[in-house]
Amino acid sequence: MISFIVMVQLLTQLVFLLVICNYSIATDTLNPNQSLQDGQILVSAKATFALGFFSTGGSSKNRYVGIWYNKLRPEGQKTIVWVANRRSPLSATNGSLVLNDNGTLTISSMMFLPMPSVTLSNPVAQLLDDGNFVIRDANSSEFAWQSFDYPTDTLLSGMKLGWDLRTGLNRNLTAWRSYDDPSPGSYVLSMDLEVIPQVNLWSGSTKKWRSGPWNGTMYSNIETQPSINGIVISGPVSNKDDVYHMYNTSGTNIVTRMTVDQSGMFKDSVWIESTGMWNTFLYYPKRECWEYSRCGANSVCDPDAWPICRCLPGYKSKTPQEWPLADASSGCERLTALDCKNMSDGFMTITIAALPETSNAIIYPNISLNECSAKCLKNCSCTAYATANISGVGIGCVIWVSELIDMRMTSNPTQDVFFRLAAADLASISSKSSKKSQFKSMALIIIFSTVALIFLMLFFCWRRKRMTHKAFITYHQLEKDIRGNDELELTQLQWSTLMEATNNFAETNILGKGGFGLVYKGKLAEGREVAVKRLSKNSTQGVDEFKNEVTFIAKLQHRSLVRLLGYCIQRDEKLLVYEYMPNGSLDALLFDKEKGMHLDWQTRFHIIVAIARGLLYLHQDSRLRIIHRDLKASNILLDIEMNPKISDFGLARNFGEHETITKTRKVVGTYGYMAPEYALDGVFSVKSDVFSFGVLILEIISGQRNRVVLSQPNLYLLGNAWSLWNEGKVLDLLDPLIGNLFSVSQVMRCVNIGLLCVQEKAEDRPIMSSVVIMLGNDDAPLAMPKAPGFKGIFSTKHDSASDHAHLYTLNNITLTEHTGR
């Protein structure tokens, strides 16, 4: 018995030793001519980091040498922070990493990075606990080579992002090509050697974002300073040897990293021990105004205004016909040329978030603003000047000798820029300001006049009484119409019931809002959860739309349509009660980089097919023949199992049995989803909904709204999809958040169907019965699509002087009026 136990113990130890031999060499150091075989790892002294061979997810068999967090593994996955041979992967699992006796590293006899230029007498390679892999002489602490000088897509604490001016080494972050391909992608985050050093994000040779100058506390184009104690952000260090950015968390238990991902976004993340996940606490670019030079030269981007771009005072748009189409890239030009000869020009102040682009600026150290102003006036090329440091101490002033680029507003702007204007423009601006002030004074006098006040009060009382009486008659008739419709099996709920269900319409119960008003979550007495849509008194959804919503949804029953449970009319209050959708609207998940990760390919494909079947029911299989007219991502609701439900029938139209096409003088809906014939001429049919569905397919596949594509500024999403289709790069359209778990043939088929649905001519688009067959049958033949409608920047022209159209290019702008031929 004892011998048997001893034998088991010996076998257990033998198995343990074999595992150790296969997966680790139990050290943090490689000695000369010692090899690290595929399957073995180096582990840093405190087991913080590991180095070894790895493969990415999916079907890739390529092998790479990299460094990853040894202990921190969200959902069991390695978090790779450095890749040695990202350009030259191995195709087999028999590779080895060798430290040669001259102090150089090779992977299977290949040199993968520049190695030490000096020969070491007794070299060692060591993985340190900060994630740095170094080569040094065994008798020295100085590094002859380090991985920190060759970062990939991750910046760790203590790493430098920037230049070594002595050697010309540029340490920058380059994103992976895709989630499972670590080869260099198109996005690069680097510290540029400009007049005032700053961090820039590039896509190829195109600048996508810049940090702005350091203001003594943080980079001025980053609105929020990280609030995590223990993170020390070092501004740009600039001296004769180095120009770099760095952060430090040494001496703390905080684990952070900065990464650049495949979508062109860089993130600062911190490891949360309690959740076992990385939490992003800072990311850029965030919104449209963070895009580099979003509004062109001599203009300011304000994310909280519409339109978001506006020219500086004294300037006008170079291409005013393109600004309503959300294309302000051409920028602005002066109303009046500068007068350098007579020095009659002056300056006007604008307060913005950060200094304009400083690559073509000039720095004057240690001079006052008055001296700076004088220098600018003497320089005929000078367009503006400002202090070079917001705190008022430091390097003096900066002047610009070119157009002003990349200016952005925030809710709390802090940087004053003094831009140069001709005397005539300054006088005109001053005159307008004076007239405006006089007008305000006159208005105040009139408003506070006793006679005017009495008159306004009497008029208001009379008007209100009249409107109340009119509203009572209108809503009384509406209630009578709904109650008198015997076909409607719909419950009329009491106002008190809905007040109790929503806790008196408490703000904490608000699910969302739109032009119609607010939607509240409620709970009826029997415990059923509902969504209560309360139309505001100023709602864009009027009596006819309310009647549409009640009539159509109550008569339609399909698993892909939202269910209307009841309604309430209380004087001028109109309320609709729907089944509650726990996962909210599709757009809230689809266009959010965090929530979008819950939408894998199978879920997206299921949503596409279910919406198609719902539309087929509306167009063909229901007892009514309905055209929705406002199909979009925000009108698709998701239940607890991610089943989609088409909602909001306020704009829907009922077609007669033999009616195929009709025309309206009032175009309503959401631009970006409208078919060309409807947006331009007011003509709509079932093919109008097919176009909207095609847009929706491409948005679901790409995770992008149908707006201008950043990498293709002349193309909308439809145009970008069409371009990728013709170039044979359809998979480049796929949302990176999907990862690699998808069917290539299924994605190709869906893009093909989406492009068929958005073809410019209505007669070329398929009907929904054909779409459902094509989605559900992999053997169903697919036609080659023709060019889509609204694929890029366009303008609207009509031959007749009486024709007039209002068109806007952003998805969330509603077209409310159209006068066609």
User: Do residues 388 and 196 lie in contact, with contact meaning Cβ atoms separated by under 8 Å?
Assistant: yes
Query: What are 507-516's contacts with CB under 8 Å, separation 24+?
Result: 511/584, 512/584, 512/585, 514/634, 515/539, 515/540, 515/541, 515/814, 516/540, 516/541, 516/650
Answer whether residue 355 is part of any domain. yes
**Which residues touch 745 (CB under 8 Å, ≥6 apart)?**
778
Q: How far is CA 620 from the centre of its chain?
A: 37
Answer whether residue 593 is part of any domain. yes
User: Do residues 261 and 277 lie in contact, with contact meaning Cβ atoms separated by under 8 Å?
Assistant: no
Instruction: Give which of 59, 61, 58, 56 is closest to 90, Cα–Cα.
Output: 61
Task: Give the separation between CA 195 and CA 206, rounded to whole angstroms.
Answer: 19
Residue owning tokens 């002294």: 45
Query: Do 598 and 534 fall within a single domain?
Result: no
Task: Give the separation between CA 146 and CA 161, rounded to whole angstroms.
Answer: 14
Write down the pLDDT at residue 815: 35
CATH number, domain with residue 124: 2.90.10.10
Q: Compute the residue count for the chain.
A: 821
Q: Is the Cα dihedral 584, 588, 592, 596 positive or negative?
A: positive
Q: How far is CA 138 from CA 22, 51, 123, 143, in A?
A: 27, 20, 6, 10
Query: Do 598 and 718 fall within a single domain?
Result: yes
| Residue 694 domain boundaries | 586-819
162: left (phi over 0), alpha (psi -120 to 50) or beta: left
Query: Do 601 and 562 fall within a single domain?
Result: no
Write down the pLDDT at residue 225: 58
Crossing angle of the two packed helices 423-447 and 450-483, in degrees rounded to 10: 80
Residues belonging to the active site? 630
Q: Is the Cα dihedral 782, 784, 788, 791 positive or negative?
A: positive
- Interior angle at CA 60, CA 55 and CA 66, nearest 5: 20
**Residue 716: how many other CB atoms lie within 10 Å:** 25
Write down the pLDDT at residue 797: 33
User: Do residues 374 and 341 lie in contact, with contact meaning Cβ atoms separated by under 8 Å?
Assistant: no
Query: Do 786 and 760 fall within a single domain?
Result: yes
Domain end point (choices 438, 466, 496): 438
Answer whether residue 618 is part of any domain. yes
Write down the pLDDT at residue 672: 84
Answer whether residue 219 is part of any domain. no
CATH number, domain with residue 546: 3.30.200.20
Exposed / middle / buried, residue 473 (Cβ in 10 Å: 0-12, 13-18, 19+)? exposed
Answer whether residue 514 is part of any domain. yes
Query: Do 545 and 627 fall within a single domain?
Result: no
Task: Give the separation between CA 420 and CA 409, rounded to whole angstroms.
Answer: 19
The total of structural domains in the chain comes to: 4
Mean pLDDT by 10 residues, the chain (821 residues): 50 43 67 92 95 83 94 85 94 92 91 86 94 94 94 94 91 92 94 84 92 76 64 74 84 86 88 82 79 91 84 91 77 92 90 86 86 92 83 69 90 85 88 60 64 71 59 50 55 89 92 79 92 75 69 80 87 86 92 88 96 93 85 93 90 71 68 86 89 96 78 73 93 91 93 95 94 90 89 40 32 32 27
Answer whether residue 809 is part of any domain. yes
Query: Do 575 and 598 fall within a single domain?
Result: no
Residue owning tokens 């905080």: 254
Write down the pLDDT at residue 661: 65
Task: Give the separation between CA 418 and CA 351, rounded to whole angstroms.
Answer: 9
User: Do residues 179 and 161 lie in contact, with contact meaning Cβ atoms separated by under 8 Å?
Assistant: no
Write down the pLDDT at residue 543: 66
Query: Do 640 and 788 fall within a single domain?
Result: yes
Write down the pLDDT at residue 536: 72
260: β partners: 266
**Residue 212: how many other CB atoms lie within 10 Å:** 23
Q: Which residues of 453-466 are buried (b: 16+ CB within 10 A; e: fewer)?
A: eeeeeeeeeeeeee
CATH number, domain with residue 669: 1.10.510.10
Omega within 30 of 0 (cis) for the link into 307: yes
Task: Give the separation between CA 326 and CA 306, rounded to whole angstroms.
Answer: 10
| Main-chain dihedrals φ then ψ at residue 64, nearest 5 degrees | -130, 155
User: Do residues 47 and 71 lie in contact, with contact meaning Cβ atoms separated by under 8 Å?
Assistant: yes
Query: Do 612 and 714 fall within a single domain?
Result: yes
**Residue 555: how many other CB atoms lie within 10 Å:** 18
| Token pair belonging to 275 | 């959740």
Q: How far is CA 177 from CA 180, 181, 185, 381, 815, in A?
A: 8, 6, 4, 42, 40
Domain end point (choices 532, 559, 579): 579
Query: Do 560 and 599 fall within a single domain?
Result: no
Query: What are 484-489's contacts with CB under 8 Å, separation 24+?
Result: 485/551, 487/555, 488/550, 488/551, 488/554, 488/555, 489/554
**Which residues touch 430 (CB under 8 Å, ≥6 apart)?**
none
Number of helices (H) and strands (E), helices first, in the chain?
13, 49
Query: Do 545 and 594 fall within a single domain?
Result: no
Write down the pLDDT at residue 472: 45
Q: Which residues of 281-317 are buried (b: 16+ CB within 10 A; e: fewer)?
A: ebebbeebbbbbbbbbbbbbbbbeeeebbbbbbbbeb
DSSP string covering 424-451, please? HHHHHHHHHHHHHHHHHHHHHHHHT-HH
Answer whether residue 658 is part of any domain. yes
| Token pair belonging to 767 | 């009907």
User: Do residues 238 and 251 lie in contact, with contact meaning Cβ atoms separated by under 8 Å?
Assistant: no
Answer whether residue 779 is part of any domain. yes
DSSP 8-class letter at 55: -
Alpha carbon dihedral 700, 704, 706, 710, in 10-degree steps, equals -150
Query: Do 641 and 790 fall within a single domain?
Result: yes
Residue owning tokens 């299977």: 108
Domain end point (choices 541, 557, 579): 579
User: Do residues 129 and 60 lie in contact, with contact meaning Cβ atoms separated by under 8 Å?
Assistant: no
Query: Do 655 and 788 fall within a single domain?
Result: yes
Q: In 3-state terms, the chain is what percent helix, strand and coil (to 5)?
A: 30, 30, 45
| Token pair belonging to 433 | 């300001």
